[in-house]
């Protein structure tokens, strides 16, 4: 049986995560629409692909793996290889995206954070096949704190993402926020190679409340890995889980 390169990557990533104690997890491709409708602020897009079940109930094809994990209320270390269904970035259509990733659900420790960062870097190394790679890290909680009294948060975040200092100044963004574009990494205690601070990756302070990171591979203009800590969505979902941290790899971008 022929195995595609993407499937080979997915198998290698799963083996990597399993050796670190993560349990493989499989889930349904669809959930009740109401579960996602209440949490659109946490999704990459408000558009959700829906259909009506035979019993008349409105269902949604899964737009996010982590939300599906949260719905089950489970705690522990889990890894997955699943598809999600989201609007395509380059066309006005929905796309099916293959993801590999992991999540730690429960009370987080410094060791958990260091392990997730280390595995993100190791994942990039595995996928890079000898090319250069980097994991950009920031603290979304710090950005949210600095913007707590700002009325134009979305505009400031767009300017921050573009690293547009002039626009940030015109928007009266806090000086400390502007200075963060050149800050030293405030999160990782370990001196892990191939990591650097980059606050321009902070785009969604609704989903992520602490550590946030994106992974890049030389020659690819898009981030292939994204993740962070998402305690806020856990509180919104009325979950008994105190903390959540993880990342997903967009295998299609390889």
pLDDT tens sequence across 35-74: 887 777 777 677 888 889 999 899 988 888 888 888 888 8
Q: Determine the structural domain holding residue 240 and report its residue range.
A: 5-253
Q: What would the pLDDT profile of 113-156 be if each residue is shown by its tens digit?
A: 999 999 999 999 999 999 999 999 999 999 999 999 888 999 99
Per the model's pLDDT, the better-predicted residue between 110 and 46 turns out to be 110
Which pLDDT band holds residue 90 (cuts at 50, 70, 90)?
low
Please give the average per-residue pLDDT across 90-119, as a whole number.
91
Cβ atoms of 79 and 234 within 8 Å: the answer is no
* Number of domains observed in the structure of the chain: 1
**Strands 133-139, 195-197: pairing kind:** parallel
12 has pLDDT over 60: yes
Give the sheet arrangement for strand 94-106, strand by strand. Answer: 23-24, 76-87, 94-106, 243-250, 225-229, 211-217, 133-139, 195-197
Q: Is the pTM of this model over 0.75?
A: yes
Contact 121, 211 (CB under 8 A): no
Distances (CA, A) of 17 to 78, 170, 227: 8, 45, 15
pLDDT in tens, 155-175: 999 999 999 999 999 999 999
* C-alpha atoms less than 13 angstroms from C-alpha of 29 in its C-beta half-sphere: 10
Check which CATH number belongs to the domain holding 14 and give it: 3.30.930.10
């Amino acid at each position: 049986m022929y195995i595609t390169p993407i499937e080979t990557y997915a198998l290698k990533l799963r083996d990597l995560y399993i050796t670190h104690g993560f349990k493989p997890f499989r889930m349904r491709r669809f959930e009740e629409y109401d579960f996602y409708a209440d949490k659109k602020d946490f999704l990459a897009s408000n558009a959700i692909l829906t259909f009506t079940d035979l019993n008349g109930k409105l269902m949604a094809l899964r737009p996010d793996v982590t939300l599906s994990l949260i719905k089950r209320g489970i705690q522990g270390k889990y890894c997955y290889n699943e598809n999600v269904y989201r609007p395509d970035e380059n066309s006005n259509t929905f796309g099916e995206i293959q993801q590999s990733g992991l999540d730690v659900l429960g009370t987080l420790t410094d060791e958990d954070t260091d392990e997730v960062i280390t595995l993100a870097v190791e994942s990039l190394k595995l996928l890079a096949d000898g090319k250069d790679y980097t994991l950009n890290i920031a603290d979304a909680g710090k950005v949210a704190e600095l913007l707590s009294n700002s009325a134009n948060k979305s505009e400031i975040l767009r300017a921050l993402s573009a690293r547009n200092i002039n626009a940030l100044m015109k928007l009266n963004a806090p000086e400390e926020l502007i200075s963060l574009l050149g800050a030293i990494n405030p999160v990782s205690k370990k001196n892990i190679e191939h990591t650097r601070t980059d606050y321009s990756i902070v785009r969604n302070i609704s989903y992520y409340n602490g550590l946030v990171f994106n992974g890049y591979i030389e020659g690819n203009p898009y981030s292939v890995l994204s993740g962070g800590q998402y305690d806020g969505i856990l509180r919104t979902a009325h979950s008994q889980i105190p903390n959540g941290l993880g990342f997903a790899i967009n295998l299609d971008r390889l």
